[in-house]
Amino acid sequence: MPLARTATLMQDLYGAQLCQTSIQSFAQEAALALRPTVGAIAQAVQGSAVVHADETGIRITGRLHWLHCAVTTTLTWLAPHPKRGTLAIEALGVLPGLKGLLLHDGLASYKALACLHRLCNAHHIRELVYIHEQEGEKIWDSWAQEMIDLLLQALREVDARGAALSLQRQAWFEAPWSALLERGEAFNPQKLHRHMRDEQGLGTRSRLKQSKAVNLLRRLRERRQEVWRFITDADVPFTNNLAEQALRMAKVKQKISGCFRTEHGADTFFTIRSYLATMTKQKRNLFACLVSVFEGQPIQPCFSR
């Protein structure tokens, strides 16, 4: 909520006359008290078996920054950074220490992390829908739609079984997936490299821009095991929805309140948000949690995995 509206709400509900500066001061006090707890949340996330990660653009001081998250079913860690990729991941320090499996959308910077990886199939399905509907694939060849159907069939079987699929069923899905990759690649051939010459006449090589279909097909082939890990390990989710849900609140705030005026204000907001989102997942009373923060003894979340 905007500060002015928060002040009005406090006046209407409790008769408390607060200025915006006081509200900001209270938020900073809460964030300071919660930093050790949020640091412990980050450490617990690092030790979790399955972690979801994602990032989204936010505006701070009128400039594009990135909100990064690392979450589990019971923990949420959020932090802003001016960069999106490797520099941010290393500076924030949570993901490089990951010990389990990381589920993400395929951002190249995640690939360098020394952990097991799983790609979000909700992203793949959205891309396949676009290719099928917008790029004319459904007119000439329905390979994209058939890929969607095959992924969803596998998901239904995993859900029905409640465990990883048998080796026989895993092999069954392997064959049609290979055939669909070959059909898609035949329909969307990669463009060959081209040579360009500079002013001195020296040859240089550049890569032609590939279509969305070609880039997707390359990822689905090169990272095949990460796409299909959900049928070999039932504890691995099909989608990265947990991470996307963790970021949604920031987009709503930005739509209502606009950008953050300072980096310190953004850090304050997401420190408090990390704590409250974690306590929400653990079904704790948020009002009681906030009272405990201002009493100087914040109620601690459960950090066990």
Lowest mean pLDDT among 56-70, 76-90, 136-150, 202-216: 202-216
Judged by phi (left if over 0) then psi (alpha if -120 to 50, else beta), residue 243 lies in alpha
CA distance 128 to 216: 8
> In terms of domains, do 125 and 107 share one?
no
Of 208, 232, 256, which residue is a domain's last?
232
Q: What is the pLDDT of residue 193?
A: 58
- Residue 285's pLDDT is 97
Sequence-distant (≥ 6) Cβ neighbours of residue 155 within 8 angstroms: 121, 230, 238
Cα separations in angstroms, 82 against 67, 87, 243, 250: 9, 9, 19, 15
Write the pLDDT tens digit of every residue in 151-160. 999 999 999 9
Q: In this structure, are residues 55 and 67 in contact, taking their beta carbons and an 8 Å threshold?
A: yes
Task: With beta carbons less than 8 A apart as the criterion, state whether 27 and 272 touch.
Answer: yes
Q: What is the model's pLDDT at position 250?
A: 86
- Can you give the pTM of this predicted structure? 0.88
Q: Does the pLDDT of residue 135 top 70, yes or no?
A: no
In the numeric block, the tokens 């159907």 are attached to 149
pLDDT of residue 118: 94
Q: Is the predicted pLDDT of residue 259 greater than 90, yes or no? A: no
Q: What total number of domains does the chain contain?
A: 2
Residue 67 lies in a domain: yes
Q: Is 87 found in the same domain as 38?
A: yes
Residue 49 confidence (pLDDT): 93
If you average pLDDT over every residue of the chain, what do you get? 90
Domain that holds residue 169: 121-232
Is residue 200 over pLDDT 70? no
Domain membership of residue 186 (yes or no) is yes
In a domain, 305, yes or no: no
Same domain, 190 and 256: no
Average pLDDT value for residue range 202-222:
80
Task: Give yes or no: residues 75 and 152 share one domain.
Answer: no
Going by pLDDT thresholds of 50, 70 and 90, the confidence category of residue 38 is: very high
- Judge whether 302 lies within some domain: no
